[in-house]
């Protein structure tokens, strides 16, 4: 089984980036005496017109509804993923994009299969468990072994092999809610690296307290990785309620004996696709404004927040620009990336396939943090011209979206572009409750608030309008601050 | 297979009772000139002393924690139920009850087994489903049939057999949150009677939108019943998020084709037990103050709210009286009823076994509506003496618990006693969120707020103290208002 693709990366890195904003920057009013040209006036009129019409449109929500009802779960390479690709092509065509095309992406398909966990001693009862993405299976009869609990990966690293040998390691790190999801990056290494670290000490399996902020019995899945030369062991997540329950069984010297049984499997290579739609620019067709989301999702929910929302927001924003202002001057390109969840696989393919034309991307952005309202725009723009878009920033500030730092990597899939010179933006969303649902069966349409997703749509549409209708050119992206 | 026990009753009836309070009654200050005897003063001193110490005690919470961690799910007759009985005996002994004994209750054990549901057309995707308690299984390969959706049982009753024949009936009735859970009684007939009504029209199975108020992917189980002479068909509940998703697939004349597979089974007769603990009265050992909860739970959660909370509250209240005021004058009896969920089976046994001594029960009450704070005391007391306890009512009113009607049937298990002359109380709790968790895997300890369950403990302890230490005697319970 080849699982090397899991090593390449995962969305946690980009979440980390989203969370690590610097101090915010308040846009200044236009300098006194600075001349506003008729063309600039026209651009801002477009922006406001799109804003007004977007505020009245449910399009982003309706797109997510369509995706979740008509397709549902869509793990990369699965039958759901294949239906999602057909759905996306049809949807972009139906919405009137001039060009709709696909970009093949080879992915390893992983199937979750059956999973259960039962405490055998001291207090027999079932626990809710799910396999981590990419995990190998247990033997058919499961693994029955004593559990050793650690409060962190760091605590595990201090353990000795004879404490761990043959046992199930339980990583029980709590995570708090935070508007920008700041604590995700602190806890997610349990999920990604737990199996490797536990295996190095001879563990037979690893289970983690779900990387999540809810108070429920949904286990949170998400990608994990193995390392060459380290024995692969099965890895699962138990729900937070179950983690509390299991933790409470450790009293004195009580042995806690657990049986876990997970029948996940690698289902081989499949072809998935980045699905791309364009409104071709009238004046500068080769200059591209790229807005995106990712089409794949984990398999347990219907992928409404992650990342149906992004698909809906990016697609709706582009569609509204065309609908309200007509054909844009620059090309607007919507990219619905394949296989983000298992390591930005579609994004890497995009960069490879478009390496000669990346220089034509005026700006790229991805929405991939649910549907909470946007409160900040971070950029990675050429510093020398960044303030030339101050009218846009001022307009956004009026609706509570302030200008932040200039060191973002953008959303997950576009995060690999700035180092290639592509300017990016990250629109920071209120993600206080995002990790209540993230990667669980509970990521469904009802978690999206219509007003909030519409606010996202409006902000993306305003920015897309500005970028597609003006001459503002923030290329190239600067080197990131160290 | 004998499932006649499902017909007898179910906790919905008592919830209905809890919800149907009349106008509230505000206690009046003691009449001017009314003499308060030294004995009465002493009783109220006891009440306030118990109140103060209860407010500082986590005992109710700790009991629920012990039950959910050390036993967990305990469907009547299951191995979990048997462990719960042992746990209860040990716990009552450990807490110092003078007498701890059991009362055998014969129950049919039902096992949930595997359950899944998959939309086949128009949009293939899995749905979260659970079997309703008592349902027969589907054939091993499931039932694949078109779905007919109805918004209520009433709408179903107007359908013709040729619309339904061979199909899966989907009862899709919404339920709103309400402080007293008022809407439960309106929606629960879908669960209890849906299979019979659908089968009469030739349906092959019935699925319901979960009887719940959450916005999640937990399906709510609960008892259903069959009727002699009506073909038994499998019955399940899908989660509310899945019901929304399925509903959205009905557009125009689209056929919605579903496969459901549930492998529930009747596991035969088993013996369960009412577990009873007493503090024997010093002055009137034969006069009994009965406080209760039910020991059984559904099998998917750990039964923290339903009814670990009641077990904890009743047990802690009685224990605190003994701890604070010493041996009571009347006997305090804690009854942890068996098999409430499948039709008050333990309560019926209790009444049969104690038929000659029911007349000695001064007051009976059960806590079985979660752990939300109490805001009202309803009674079924002899009207002529009801106001003799006005000092107690006044003390309760000070902490926000007002006197309500005199027509309650009490909590579920005691609801069969008033017609036999036993005075009862119902302490109405804020159940706004109770039906978010009711009968789901998500009924776990973390849903209990320590301050709230402690308020319950205090109110029950105050009332128990008053009843056990005074001469107040509200026997017999009056006939209910029509």
For the residues of B149-197, what is the DSSP string, one character each?
EESSHHHHHTS-HHHHTTSEEEE-------TT-TTHHHHHHHHHHHHHH
Our CA-based measurement puts residue B174 at a distance from the nearest CA of chain A, in whole angstroms, of 14
Q: Which residues pair with A377 in a beta bridge?
A: A403, A427
The verdict on a CB contact (< 8 Å) between A217 and B69 is: no
Interchain proximity B73–A126, CB inside 8 Å: yes
Q: How far apart are CA B308 and CA B293, in angstroms?
A: 8
The neighbour count for residue B327, using CB atoms within 10 Å, is 15
pLDDT in tens, A396-446: 999 999 999 999 999 999 999 999 999 999 999 999 999 999 999 999 999
End-to-end CA distance of chain B: 38
Q: In what order do the strands lie in the sheet with B284-294?
A: B99-111, B265-279, B330-337, B284-294, B361-366, B424-429, B374-380, B402-403
Q: What is the residue-wise DSSP string for B396-448?
A: HHHTT-EE--S----SGGGGGSGGGT--EEEEEE--TTHHHHTTSTT--GGG-
What is residue B482's predicted lDDT score, i.e. its pLDDT? 52
Lookup: tokens for A239: 């729900």
Q: Is the pLDDT of residue A2 over 80?
A: no
**Fold exhibited by the domain B113-263:** Glucose Oxidase; domain 1 (3.50.30)
pLDDT above 90 as % of chain A: 90
Catalytic residue among A89, A340, A366, A395: A340
Size of chain A, expressed as the number of residues it contains: 482
Q: For A74-112, what is each residue's pLDDT tens digit?
A: 999 999 999 999 999 999 999 999 999 999 999 999 999
The strand pairing partners of A333, in sequence order, are A278, A290
- Secondary-structure percent of chain B, ordered helix, strand, coil, rounded to 5: 35, 25, 40
Residues B125, A302: C-beta atoms closer than 8 Å: yes
* In this structure, CATH architecture of domain B3-110+268-469: 3-Layer(aba) Sandwich (3.40)
What residue spans define the domains of chain A? Answer: 3-110+268-469, 113-263
On chain A, the residues whose CB falls within 8 A of the CB of B122 are 70
Q: Does residue B20 register a pLDDT over 90?
A: no
B248–A217 C-beta distance less than 8 A? no
Q: Would the CB atoms of A245 and B217 count as touching at under 8 Å? A: no
Set of chain A residues whose Cβ sits within 8 Å of the Cβ of B301: 217
| pLDDT at position B470 over 80 | yes
Which of B68, B72, B245 lies nearest to residue A68, judging by beta carbons? B245
Fold match flag (B3-110+268-469 vs B113-263) = no
**What tens digit of pLDDT does each residue of A191-227 get?**
999 999 999 999 999 999 999 999 999 999 999 999 9
Q: Nearest by CB to A446, which of B65, B241, B446?
A: B241
Q: Where are the beta strands (DSSP E) in A221-256?
A: 235-238
Question: pLDDT tens-digit profile of B121-145?
Answer: 999 999 999 999 999 999 999 999 9
A265-279 and A330-337 as β-strands: parallel, antiparallel, unpaired? antiparallel
Judged on CB neighbours under 10 Å (0-12, 13-18, 19+), A36 is exposed
User: What gap in Å lies between CA A133 and CA A299, rounded to an integer?
Assistant: 10
> Vertex B335, ends B334 and B339: CA angle to 5°?
155
**A78, A210, A444, A448: best to mutate for the B interface, most B CBs within 10 A:** A444
CA nearest to B291, candidates B330, B345, B339: B330
Is A340 known to be catalytic?
A: yes
Q: What is the ipTM of this complex?
A: 0.91
- Name the residue in chain A with its Cα closest to that of B240: A446
Helix (H) or strand (E) segment spanning residue A371: none
Q: What is the pLDDT of residues A449-459, one digit of tens each?
A: 999 999 999 99
Q: Report the alpha-carbon distance of residue B391 to residue B388 in Å, rounded.
A: 8
Number of H helices, E strands in chain B: 13, 16
pLDDT for res A38: 74
pLDDT tens digit string along A12-59?
Answer: 333 333 333 333 334 444 444 455 677 778 999 999 999 999 999 999
CB pair distance less than 8 Å for A241 and B446: yes
CA B199 to chain CA centroid, Å, is 28
């Amino acid at each position: 089984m080849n699982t090397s693709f899991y090593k390449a990366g995962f969305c946690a890195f980009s979440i980390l980036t989203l969370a690590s904003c610097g101090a915010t920057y308040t846009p200044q009013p236009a300098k006194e005496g600075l001349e506003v040209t008729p063309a600039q006036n026209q651009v801002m009129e477009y922006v406001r017109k799109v804003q007004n019409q977007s505020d009245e449109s449910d399009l982003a929500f309706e797109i997510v509804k369509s995706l979740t009802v008509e397709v549902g779960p869509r793990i990369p390479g699965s039958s759901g993923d294949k239906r999602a690709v057909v759905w996306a092509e049809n949807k972009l065509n139906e919405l009137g994009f001039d060009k709709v095309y696909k970009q093949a992406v080879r992915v390893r398909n992983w199937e979750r299969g059956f999973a259960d966990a039962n405490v055998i001693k001291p207090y027999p009862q079932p626990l809710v468990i799910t396999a981590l993405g990419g995990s190998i299976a247990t033997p058919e009869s499961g693994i029955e072994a004593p559990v050793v609990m650690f409060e962190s990966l760091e605590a595990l690293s201090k353990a000795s092999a004879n404490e761990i040998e043959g046992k199930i390691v339980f990583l029980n790190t709590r995570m708090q809610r935070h508007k920008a999801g700041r604590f995700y990056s602190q806890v997610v290494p349990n999920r990604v690296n737990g199996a490797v670290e536990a295996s190095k000490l001879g563990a037979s399996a690893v289970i983690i307290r779900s990387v999540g902020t809810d108070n429920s019995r949904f286990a949170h899945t998400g990608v994990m990785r193995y390392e060459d030369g380290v024995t692969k062991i099965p890895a699962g997540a138990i729900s937070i309620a179950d983690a509390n329950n299991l933790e409470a069984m450790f009293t004195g010297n009580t042995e806690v004996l657990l049986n876990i049984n997970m029948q996940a499997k690698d289902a081989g290579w499949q072809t998935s696709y980045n699905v791309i739609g364009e409104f071709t620019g009238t004046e500068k067709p080769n200059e591209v404004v790229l807005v995106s989301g990712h089409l794949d999702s984990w398999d347990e929910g219907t992928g409404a927040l992650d990342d149906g929302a992004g698909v809906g927001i990016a697609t709706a924003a582009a569609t509204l620009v065309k609908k309200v202002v007509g054909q844009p001057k620059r090309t607007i390109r919507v990219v619905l990336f394949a296989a983000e969840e298992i390591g930005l696989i579609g994004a890497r393919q995009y960069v490879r396939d478009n390496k000669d034309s990346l220089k034509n991307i005026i700006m790229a952005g991805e929405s991939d943090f649910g549907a909470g309202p946007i409160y900040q725009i971070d950029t990675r723009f050429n510093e020398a011209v960044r303030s030339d878009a101050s009218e846009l920033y001022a307009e956004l500030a009026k609706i509570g979206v302030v200008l932040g730092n200039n060191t973002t990597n953008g959303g997950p899939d576009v995060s690999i572009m700035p180092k290639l010179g592509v300017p990016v933006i990250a629109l920071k969303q209120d993600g206080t409750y995002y990790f209540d649902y993230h990667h669980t069966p509970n990521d469904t349409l009802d978690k999206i608030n219509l007003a909030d997703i519409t606010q996202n749509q409006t902000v993306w549409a305003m920015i897309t309008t500005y970028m597609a209708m003006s001459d503002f050119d923030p290329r190239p992206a600067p080197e990131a601050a160290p």
